[in-house]
Amino acid sequence: MQLPDLSLLVMMALFWACYFVLRATVFRPLGAILEEREHRAEHAAAALRGAMERHEQGLAEIDRRLTETRREVMQAREAARAAAQGKRQEIVDAARTTAQASAAEVQARLVADADTARAELKGQVEALAREIASLALGRKVA
């Protein structure tokens, strides 16, 4: 009688022994490393999403402050323009008043000078008329 071929059983025993050894020394540590890597990747993705949200909020805040600052600058510029316009109008009004006063003074002087010249001419007209008559008549007219 021949003994049955036990090589199949020996192969199966070696296979299972290798399987348990590899599972304990390779597969479990490798699985733990892969799980840790996946966990880190998820954590990094969550941190990136949070950073992006904070970045977008920061940009929105900067944009809001920039808009507010622009509005304040425009108001200040408009106030300065209005103040300058008021000051310019005051200067123009003062110059106009001064010019009108000066023109009135010159006009009064001209009227006075004209009246003086008329009065002088009236006096001179009579004397010139006598002189012309004397020259025309050839004798002295009284």
Domain definitions of the chain by residue range: 8-108
Average of per-residue pLDDT across 48-67: 96
Higher-pLDDT residue of 126 and 12 is 12
Burial 14-45 (b: 16+ CB within 10 A, else e): eeeeeeeeeeeeeeeeeeeeeeeeeeeeeeee
pTM score, two decimals? Answer: 0.47
Q: Give the model's confidence band at 89: pLDDT under 50 very low, under 70 low, under 90 confident, else very high.
A: very high
Q: Is the pLDDT confidence value at 1 over 90?
A: no
- Model confidence pLDDT, tens digit, residues 65-74: 999 999 999 9
* Numbers of helices and strands, H then E, in the chain: 2, 0
d(CA 82, CA 89): 10
pLDDT, average across residues 49-78: 96
Measured in Å, how far apart are the chain's first and last C-alpha atoms? 197
What pLDDT is stored for residue 4 in this prediction? Answer: 73
Whether the per-residue pLDDT at 111 is higher than 80: the answer is: yes
